[in-house]
Structure 1
Amino acid sequence: MASNNVAQFATELKMPADLLLTQLRSAGVEKSSTSDPLSKDDKDKLLNHLRRTHGAAESGEKKKITVTRKETSEIKQADASGKSRTIQVEVRKKRTFVQRDDLVTAKATQAPVIDAAEQARREEEARRQSELIARQEAELREKQERLAKLESEKAEQAKAAEEQAKRDAEERAQREAAAAAQAESVAKADAAGAADAEAETKKAAADEAKKAAAEESKRKADEAAKEAAERAAATERARKAVADEVAQIKAMMAQPRRVIKAPEVPPAKPKAAEPATLHKPAEKKAADAKPGEAAGSGARPKPGDKKSIKSANVASTWSDEKKRGAPGGGMKGRGAPSTGGRDGWRAGGGRGGRRGGHDDRESNFQAPTEAIVKDVHVPETITVAELAHKMSVKASEVIKQLMKLGQMCTINQVLDQETAMIVVEEMGHKAFAAAEDDPEALLADQGEHAEFESKPRAPVVTVMGHVDHGKTSLLDYIRRAKVAAGEAGGITQHIGAYHVDTPRGMVTFLDTPGHEAFTAMRARGAKATDIVILVVAADDGVMPQTKEAIAHAKAAGVPLVVAINKIDKQGANPDRVTQELVAEGVVPEEYGGESPFVQVSAKTGQGIDDLLENVLLQAEVLELKAPVESLARGLVVEARLDKGRGPVATILVQSGTLKRGDVVLAGSSFGRVRAMLDENGKSVSEAGPSFPVEIQGLTEVPSAGEEVMVMADERKAREIALFRQGKFRDVKLAKQQAAKLENILDQMGEGEVKNLPLIVKTDVQGSQEALVGSLQKLSTSEVRVQIVHAAVGGITESDVNLATASKAVIIGFNARADAQARKLAETNGVDIRYYSIIYDAIDEIKTALSGMLAPEKREHITGQVEIRQVILVSKIGAIAGCLVTDGVVKRTSSVRLLRNNIVIWTGEIDSLKRFKDDAKEVRAGLECGLSLKNYNDIEVGDVLEVFEVQEVARTL
């Protein structure tokens, strides 16, 4: 609150009001009471009075700043002998800056930086300017004198001409008078009256001549006076211009040096930067103010005085020309800032006059910059070098930031997206998750089939159910083939794709394994299917894989047709199977559900026709259609590596037509279809929708379940496949790098975990996936299955070499080793095991892991001894005379000492004797003497419990 009277002002100053009144009167402000009002002028008077009283107004010693600069350089000079030597040259320069008195008021915007040398240079400049002005004034005086002399000469000439004219007029008048006198004397006698008239005429003529001469002399005098006045005015203008120029020069020399200071931008209201153009900086600060305003000078040229404005501009550029035009415009040390300011003793040289100096001053000014925040789009994986390039910083800065976060990286190391975004945020930029340029975007245009006509297609039916419930046998009867007999162990271990021609049309069947290890295969079968036939044995009922098949079918949204198999077998109970299926959510049509139940027998063929009838009825309800003439799309059902044919993939065409010679893309594999075979091994030239075929010509074995599509351009297919391979590798490396810190505690305990390294080679991709998954599930906290390598194909020498290096066991599942591999394995002692049934492989690996487990130790009590007497023997200790009350005491047994039924000590027997002879064991009812190892605190009545530690083998 502003203080309006003496009392309030005294309260604000925290001083007595009477003392404030006394000080006000001393300062010349007459206030009689504390309620008198106070103005701002009264407060200023009081403040000035107090300052004078305390001596604050006295000027103290002037502030001085001394700046010393030292520059060291080298020059090479040859001596008399021709040798070159280096001479160190050191240049030192000292500057002293003194604060000027007349700059106290302008201290906020100006900073005087004038030293003695600069002052001397300015005085010399002022002296030269004064000499120049003196010379100009002398020339002006000479010019004025010459003008005055010319004017006086012209005036004299005019005066002489006037006098000459007067004399001529008088002479003419005299001649006329003489002529008149002569005429008068001649005709005096003739006419006296005429003589008088003639005399009057002559007199009038003389008066006119005098009057004409006077007018001529007056006219010439006026012209001379007018010319003299014009010359005087020109002389006055020239003198005034010279005087103005002298005043401007003196004002410029007296003007102090200034340091341009950019105004601080208030943080509350940031000013938006103006858009920059080619000839205009982004922001124009207030540093371009006029020099007269900065200096607080009141002398300004008049707007209408062009001469004055021009001379002021000339004077203001003289000092710049001295600094910029001189070859050695000032020493510039190594640490000197290369500023483009107009003033300052360190301003650099450079050629340029009036225009050049102004342009340099405009263009060299550098406004203060602020930190630039970039928007960094981080892809899924990125190297350290690429991340540094996106942020416009050096890679070493990014590596330092990663080290601060506890991660050691190199410049070419791959970072995952999360880590990279954390680094970007830590370095003050904004991070955004962004996808890289994906070549797979080209596939979007190819995926539309709107321009092709959709036609009805055959249904794809998947047969699912528990293991050994008769799925393959049922499919055999439909195909009239013996497939189950060819499967190892009588169980299916591959997805089989077959097509069957029925009187009502073609049906494609997918036979999936029922074993628990083939969950992924069953999921792929349900994904690619239209209808699922759920096979349940009438004598076995609903089993775990049956429930899993129901879950897969519901997840895929596929209708179910239940086939209750083995209806002809003794002990078949279809009603119980129906009730169990209803409990799982599969309701038959008889109960108001949607799933038809058919009782069949794969052995006798009972109900097979009804089953096909229900399947085709479901297909008609679904109205299955697909484009036929478009590029083919499908699914990899199974893939394997054939030794004679290379990668072979079983493809189920879902839409379009696959032809021989088409370029196909399957995951990270691509190639041209060289051959197509149906399930019977017959060559086909094309395959339409819902038709399963085996194709050859891919570059590598694709993963089962990958989408297959035909590409119009082989180059695009290659590009997409290579992109997928690189992306898979980068993502794998990035995940490994990110997991290093997270798994550091697990890695510390790895020394206690025993590993069983394995190399798995299978015949098909699906079997490899199932076997590897089942083996890895056997791992525990003590033993672990380490899959060193898993691939499709036969066992080669490289596999044996890898097993030798990693001390691994090679497992061949329906795959065999060639002769060279077998010989190398025998030489290096590598164990190769062959399996055809997945049960056997899992059981043997499980047994091997069980053998690696540490055995479990169990205690077995063998006897009990009562101490009847204690004998102390020197150098031996306490010897107990005992009676074996129960069991057997052996020399190697361990014992516990019990006193009042509390365990006092646990240890071993040192010696056991009977009748002074060493005994291996003493049975119940016999006496013996014994001593305990390293223990003598025994008493009569103590009981010794004898036990043995047995190791028991553990199982998984």
Structure 2
Amino acid sequence: MSETTDKPKLGARAPLGIKRTVETGKVKQSFSHGRSNTVVVEVKKRRILGRPGEAEAPKVEEAPAPEAPVAKASPAPEPAPTPKPPARPINDALSRRELQEKLLREAEEARMTALEEARRREDRQAQQSSVEERRRAEENRRAEEEARVKAEEEARLAAEEAERAASQPPVADVPAPAAEDEDERRGGHGRAKHAPAAKRPEPTRPARGARDDRRQSGKLTVSRALNDGDGGARARSLAALKRAREKEKRHHQQAGPSAKQYRDVAVPEAITVQELAKRMGERGADLVKSLFKLGMPVTVTESIDQDTAELLVEEFGHRINRVSEADVELGIAGDEDAPETLKARPPVVTIMGHVDHGKTSLLDAIRGADVVSGESGGITQHIGAYQVSLPDKSKVSFLDTPGHEAFTEMRARGANVTDIVILVVAADDGLKPQTIEAINHTKAAGVPMIVAINKIDKNGANPQKVREELLQHEIIVEDMGGDVQDVEVSALKKTNLDKLLEAIALQAELLELKANPDRPAEATVIEAKLDKGRGPLATVLVQRGTLRVGDIFVVGAASGKVRAMIDDKGRQVKEAGPSVPVEVLGLSAVPSAGDPFSVVENDARAREVAAYRQTILDRKRTATAPVNLENIFAAKSDKVVEFPLVIKADVQGSVEAIVNAVNRISNEDIKVRVLHSGVGGITESDVTLAGASGAPIIGFNVRPNAKAREIAERNKVELQYYDVIYHLTDAVRSAMAGELGPLMIENVVGRAEIREVFSAGKHGKAAGLLVTEGVLRKALKARITRDDVIIYNGEIASLRRFKDDVAEVRAGLECGVTFTQNFTDIKPGDFLETFEVEERERTL
């Protein structure tokens, strides 16, 4: 090689005599809708030169040929070993360094250009979603990868050739050129001709055409993802799995029927054929066939008894396990408490006696409250539960029971949950029928009695006569040598109330009343009702344990969770211990008065017990006498006329008392048939039922809602409202017996809504009204309803408009009203009705 070629000008490229570095070609691009384009593609190749003895220069990515399918490059021919070149001047090394830096810069620019082109190409490929475009992109990627590998190989070989031509190492110290490394990689050919005197260790170079597996080359396609890893093995399809399962199933079927399983079948007292077949694992039709053979033509939905079920179970080879449905009740009542867990509790005292003998007035005097004024007709028609604190800080729970004959069940219930009974007898009236009944209830309950001789301040009072009359019923007071305490009191004058409280305390001390407060609560429902805003409510008396907010309970055929508890003073409490009466919110339905109230461990247990109890109630209600010839002839000869009724009342105890009272009116010629009885206001379903059967609706302290009233007027359903039970029984008796007497028909004259409540001085409170229907007149009777429940029944005391007394106010106008009896329990949102009573001749 000449001197001029060994020393090129600064910045000029040495003519190394290798192939050209730019290859051009044309590629046709296809687009959607038949469009195409032809582009010119250039593939640039760069040489990399390095000094002898240094590590191999980093690889440079060349500009790949986009979209150009290039044939696979064949390996370049290996250069033949060349002899060592002669020595060169030192400035040639500078020229080589500058040349190398320039090549590196150009390689970097080419790499950036290639990256930009690759980014644009990927953007275009992302917009093309067809299968053909993805396939073409994959082919282009492979072609450019092969082109890149070929370009890198050619650049490396060119750099080695340039290094061998340009370098002139010293004779003694220069290591063997890279060609010898090539000889070593090819098996050591030519080592004998060019053996160096000394050799410095060089870093290992990667094999020709080797790829870095750590770098992800190209995009990940579906075919590559499925072919990577396990050599292309794919997961089994769902169809293949389904075919395999069907094949296995056929194999088992061909193997023969499996052995029959014999089971232990739990059979309750009554079970349907279908349920029994399910527990036995047999077909219901097979059980029906067996029953036909036994002479019992039944269907799969009919129930059979336990003995018949046992025959079926044994016939099919199973084993029977007799169980009782009542087993779900086990553990509800709880076990007896250990003596060391018992603590003293307040006594429960029930006040009993004849109507109008002053029971509630006596309790009012003890409580310092006024309950009598709130009772219709001045008689108690609900069980009231109260707790009173005595002067010595001890507490006593009082139950006030009605004295009317219709409330026999309430008195019996009060005697059953009480510790002490106070028998109130009027000193001027003596023993009456309900007094004797209360004595019998007390004896049946086995509780001690204290006789309170009331009204000793009245003229004609004779307490000694009362003591003598008690002897007829084996009640001997202490003054006559017996063991029953008696106290002469006056509820009106509050005379000797302290002696009565002392007698209660003495009797409670003798009884040594104790209970365990640290256990799940058990209580008894004293009264229950349906409140429009708060739902079903129950007044319960806790007998043992402590009832807390959040407890899960079961009461009768209802269950629930204690949402809130309200004491007798209207305050919310968090817990209630033994002998404490509280009103409980959170029931699923209105229970019956007297139902047991028990706290259980969880909601599922409560629902299970409630469902069982409801089943028992349904069986009792739908139970019918067996059909035989005697019953058939008796039904044909029976000409008793039925008198249908629909009864709605405000509380459960009143419903119970009214149903019992009207049933006692029945005789051999006419009898009452109660179609429906319930708690709460009169609803549309009640009116529809009464209209279909032609029955009157009796409302006791309740009223119909607007929709029910509209349906009743359209269907001519008779609505009768009462607030005193003996008025109700008298009306039913008159209607049934056909007695000649007036039929009292209410005609509503006007309705108004109470908007505001004002103070009216000595008249108590005045109500500001907006008349919505009809006319308000001063002479008419009036009633106030709240949530369809009557809270006042009387007359209008005064009717004013703009401070002027007026005789009447028509619909759409506002007015002010005060009421008689100084009635003050008025709230905005209540409704006022004025009505007149029309007397008609009663007909059956």
Instruction: State TM-score, norm by structure 1.
Output: 0.46
Q: Distance in 1 between matches of 2:569 and 2:709?
A: 33
Q: What is the Cα deviation at residue 389 of structure 1?
A: 9.1
Q: Deviations over 1:58-102 (max 9, x none)?
A: xxxxxxxxxxxxxxxxxxxxxxxxxxxxxxxxxxxxxxxxxxxxx
> What is residue 345 of structure 1 aligned with on the other side?
none
CA contact (8 A) 1:650 1:694 kept: yes
Residue 436 of structure 1, CA deviation: 3.1
AA at the equivalent of 1:464: M
Q: Residues of 2 paired with 1:415 and 1:389: CA distance?
A: 14
Asked if 2 retains the 8 angstrom alpha-carbon contact of 1:399 and 1:410, the reply is no
2:577 & 2:397 partners in 1: Cα distance? Answer: 12
Q: Secondary structure at the match of 2:690?
A: helix
Contact 2:525–2:595 (CA under 8 A) maintained in structure 1 = yes
Q: In the alignment, is residue 395 of structure 1 matched against residue 288 of structure 2?
A: yes
Give the Cα–Cα distance (whole angstroms) in 2 for the partners of residues 629 and 385 of structure 1.
Answer: 45
| Counterpart-to-counterpart distance in 2, 1:423 and 1:542 | 63
Q: Could you say which residue in structure 1 is the equivalent of 2:565?
A: 676
Alignment equivalent of 1:842, drawn from 713, 729, 732: 729
Contact 1:452 1:629 in 2 (8 A): no
Q: Give the match's secondary structure for 1:438.
A: helix
Deviations 1:870-897 (A, max 9, x none): xxxxxxxxxxxxxxxxxxxxxxxxxxxx
| Other structure's SS at 1:500 match | strand
Q: Is the 8 A contact 1:761 1:815 kept in 2?
A: yes
State the 1:852 CA deviation.
9.1
Note the alpha carbon deviations across 1:689-718, whole angstroms, 9 max, x for none.
Answer: 111110111000011101111122122112
Give the one of 521, 525, 534 matched to 2:410: 521
Question: What residue in structure 1 maps to residue 682 of structure 2?
Answer: 795
Which residue is equivalent to 2:93? Answer: none
Query: Aligned partners of 2:371, 2:292: CA distance in 1, in Å?
Result: 61
Shift of 1:431: 12
Structure 1 segment 203-214 matched on structure 2, within 5 A: none
Change in CA separation of 1:812 and 1:743 when aligned onto 2, cut-off 3 Å: farther
Q: In the alignment, does 2:509 pair up with 1:656?
A: no
Pick aligned residue for 2:421 from 532, 538, 546? 532
User: What are the superposed Cα offsets for residues 325-382 of structure 1, whole Å, 9 maximum, x if unpaired?
Assistant: xxxxxxxxxxxxxxxxxxxxxxxxxxxxxxxxxxxxxxxxxxxxxxxxxx99974433
Whole-Å Cα distance in 1 between the matches of residues 360 and 545 of structure 2?
A: 29
Per-residue deviation, 1:832: 1.1
Instruction: Please give the alpha-carbon distance, in whole angstroms, between the structure 2 residues aligned to 1:399 and 1:580.
Output: 68
Residue 479 of structure 1 aligns to which amino acid in structure 2?
R
Q: Could you tell me how far apart the structure 2 residues matched to 1:546 and 1:636 are?
A: 24
**Aligned equivalents of 2:523 and 2:444: distance in 1?**
20
> What amino acid is aligned across from residue 288 of structure 2 in structure 1?
A
Q: Following TM superposition, by how much is the alpha carbon of 1:416 offset from its aligned partner in structure 2, in angstroms? A: 6.8
Structure 2 counterparts to residues 355-370 of structure 1, below 5 A: none
The structural deviation recorded for 1:954 is 13
- Residues 291 and 298 of structure 2 are in contact (CA less than 8 Å); yes or no, is this contact kept in structure 1? no
C-alpha spacing 1:478/1:512, structure 2 compared with 1 (3 Å):
same
Q: Is the 8 A contact 1:388 1:398 kept in 2?
A: no
Q: Which amino acid aligns with 1:395?
A: V
Which of 763, 767, 772 is residue 659 of structure 2 equivalent to? Answer: 772
Are residues 1:548 and 2:437 paired? yes
Q: Is the contact between residue 537 and residue 566 of structure 1 (CA under 8 Å) also seen in structure 2? A: yes
Q: Is the 8 A contact 1:461 1:531 kept in 2?
A: yes
Q: Deviations over 1:753-776 (max 9, x none)?
A: 221111111111111011001111
Amino acid at match of 2:594: G
The corresponding residue for 1:762 is 649
Distance 1:663 1:451 in 2: 27
CA distance in 2, matches of 1:418, 1:809: 46
Matched, 1:583 2:510: no
Q: Deviations over 1:450-482 (max 9, x none)?
A: 397211110000000111111011111111111
Q: 1:658 and 1:593 mapped to 2: Cα distance? A: 40
Aligned mates of 1:783, 1:420 — CA distance in 2: 44
- AA aligned to 1:458 is P
Is the CA contact (8 Å cut-off) linking 2:735 and 2:843 kept in structure 1? no
Give the alignment partner of residue 631 of structure 1, picking from 496, 515, 520.
520
SS at structure 1 position matched to 2:738: helix
Q: Distance in 2 between matches of 1:635 and 1:626?
A: 15
CA RMSD of aligned residues (A): 3.5
Q: Which amino acid aligns with 1:671?
A: G
Task: Tell me, in whole angstroms, the C-alpha distance in 2 between the residues paired with 1:738 and 1:409.
Answer: 17
- The structure-2 alpha-carbon separation of the partners of 1:440 and 1:571, relative to structure 1 and needing over 3 Å to count, comes to same
Cα distance in 1, alignment partners of residues 320 and 454 from structure 2: 60
Name the structure 1 match of 2:827: none
1:581-619 Cα shifts (integer Å, max 9, x gaps): 011011111222211011111111112111110011000
Cα gap change, 1:955 to 1:419, in 2 (>3 Å): farther
Give 1:846's aligned amino acid.
Answer: R
Classify the secondary structure of the residue corresponding to 2:624: helix
Q: Of the two, which has the highest radius of gyration?
A: 1
Q: 2:611 matched to 1:722?
A: yes
Q: Note if contact 1:440-1:720 (Cα within 8 Å) is conserved in structure 2.
A: yes
Give the 3 Å change call, closer, same or farther, for CA 592–396 of structure 1 in structure 2: farther
The one-letter code of the counterpart of 1:781 is E
Query: Alpha-carbon deviation of 1:555?
Result: 1.2
2:365 corresponds to: 477
What secondary structure sits across from 2:707 in the alignment?
Answer: helix
Q: CA deviation at 1:543?
A: 1.3
1:846-882 per-position Cα deviation (integer Å, ceiling 9, x unaligned): 11111299xxxxxxxxxxxxxxxxxxxxxxxxxxxxx
Number of matched pairs: 476
One-letter amino acid of the structure 2 residue matched with residue 586 of structure 1: I
Query: Contact conserved, 1:660 with 1:685, CA < 8 A, in 2?
Result: yes
Q: Kindly indicate whether the alpha-carbon contact (under 8 Å) linking 1:460 and 1:531 is maintained by their aligned counterparts in 2.
A: yes
Superposed displacement of residue 411, structure 1: 3.9
Conserved 8 A contact 2:478-2:484: yes
| Secondary structure, counterpart of 2:500 in structure 1 | helix
Corresponding residue SS for 1:394:
helix
Distance in 1, matches of 2:399 and 2:360, equals 10
Displacement of 1:720: 1.5
Letter in 2 for 1:760: I
What residue number does 1:895 align with?
none
2:338 to 442, 446, 450: 450
TM-score with structure 2 setting the length:
0.52
Counterpart Cα distance in 2 of 1:673 and 1:580? 47
CA distance in 1, matches of 2:462, 2:270: 58
Q: Distance in 1 between matches of 2:656 and 2:684?
A: 23
Is 1:492 paired with 2:380?
A: yes
Contact 2:332 2:598 in 1 (8 A): no
Distance 2:311 2:549 in 1: 50
Task: Provide the C-alpha distance between the structure 1 equivalents of 2:568 and 2:672, rounded to a whole number of angstroms.
Answer: 36
Paired with 2:509 and 2:621, the residues of 1 have a C-alpha distance of 46
Distance in 2 between the 1:410 and 1:633 partners? 43
**Other structure's SS at 1:542 match:** coil
Structure 2: state its 5+ residue gaps.
1-263, 741-840
Query: 2:718 matched to which residue of 1?
Result: 831
Contact 2:546 2:577 in 1 (8 A): yes
Contact 1:449 1:630 in 2 (8 A): no
Name which structure has the greater RCO, CA cutoff 8 Å, separation 6+.
Answer: 2
1: CA distance, partners of 2:676 / 2:628: 21
Note closer, same or farther for the CA distance 1:401–1:742 as it changes in structure 2 (3 Å cut): farther
Q: Does 1:563 align with 2:452?
A: yes
SS at match of 1:736: coil
Give the distance between the partners of 1:766 and 1:517, measured in 2 at CA.
10
Instruction: Look up the match of 2:171.
Output: none
| Contact 2:290–2:312 under 8 Å retained in 1 | no
- The Cα of 1:415 is off from its aligned counterpart by 5.5
Instruction: Determine which structure has the larger helix proportion and give its number.
Output: 1
